[in-house]
Amino acid sequence: MAKYNVVELFESINGEGMRAGELAVFVRLRGCNLQCSYCDTKWACVCDAPCREMTEEEICQKILETGIQNVTITGGEPLIQKDIEVLLRRLAREKTLRVEIETNGSVSVTPYRQTEYSPVFTLDYKLPGSGMESQMCMDNFRSVRETDTVKFVVFGESDLERSLEIIQEYDLSRRCHVILSPVYGQIQPERMVEFMRDNHLNRVRLQLQLHKIIWEPDQRGV
């Protein structure tokens, strides 16, 4: 069996994404290949973050015990984890589960497209405000599916302009779900609505992070 460094495994609601507001089980894996300026889980990205080593069977069993069908695999960055495909294959055997992977956009999702365990992806695009835009895997935008979501986390005005360029260049709003989300405390949502209206961003959704509204913004396990 494979083993995974799990820093959190908890039940809550999806705070963002197309299943926002629905119950979900979160499996947060340790480690990331990026260092975004606004990262709100930096503690989980370091190599010595406290964790529990779990096999795919143990993770699956814990998920099934909750009785919750939505599963979000997150991090850190899930797609850099050794043997991540083993975990995805195991979870795919449970037909009641709806598995989603939150990925930072720097790793190709192509290897997962032709597999029987292909999950739904929420793909970030790291805008200039993140400091990580140069690390983006642009090929991912050529293979997005209608069930996938592309998320733009917006720090400021330059990020809004860049998100518009990417949405238009890859015709994303017609090919998948698209979300604009403000960095907490950095840009006013009202400004983002104005930008969407002024640029006729149909089929694009503004989304606030529900978990940061319901609980304290820095609270873990929610």
Write the pLDDT tens digit of every residue in 107-119: 999 998 878 888 8
Over 90: is that where the pLDDT of 221 sits? no
Residue 40 vs residue 192, higher pLDDT: 192
Share of the chain above pLDDT 70, in %: 99
Per-residue pLDDT of 32-54, as tens digits, reads: 999 999 998 898 898 889 999 99
Distance between CA atoms of residues 63 and 75, nearest Å: 17
Asked whether the beta carbons of 75 and 102 are under 8 A apart, the reply is yes
Distance between CA atoms of residues 155 and 211, nearest Å: 19
Per-residue pLDDT of 119-145, as tens digits, reads: 899 999 999 999 999 999 999 998 899
